[in-house]
Copies of this chain bind each other. A is one copy, B any other.
């Protein structure tokens, strides 16, 4: 795909599909069984003082248990929300288990967040992790799915 305009996302490779689940250990075991692979260990996202998690404009103690499968062309992230209000918990409470987001890597987080906001898709949650940061976009009404932007630091 080419002919990108200056007013569009700079990356068109979906790098990750994020699935919110009620029990990450159980979901990871079920996926592993389907794929004929070992069950991955889950990890806990960083606490507020490290992740600087902001949800709907307010800091939140929310964290998540994460487990990953590396498919040939994309990674699958299983997400069990814990500990406080978050886009993950909101999704689980509203929809039950399901695909929470699809993710793109971006070079300039501020530019891309501003671009989406100008198109009527404001940020819903952001945070930091070792080596980078993320921003979820409130795009379900316009695109049918939450977008996650990922940027390295």
Contact = CB atoms under 8 A, between A and B. Distances in A.
Taking the full assembly, how many copies of this chain does it contain? Answer: 2
Contact of A4 (B21, B36, B119): B36
Nearest to A99: B99
A14 B71 contact: yes
Chain A interface size, as a band, is 35 or more
A9 interface: yes
Interface stretch (A25-33, A47-55, A123-131): A25-33
B74 A27 contact: no
A99 B97 contact: no
Contacts of A12: 35, 71-72
Contacts of A33: 8, 119
10 contacts: A1-B71, A14-B76, A19-B145, A20-B144, A27-B142, A27-B144, A30-B119, A34-B143, A73-B73, A95-B98
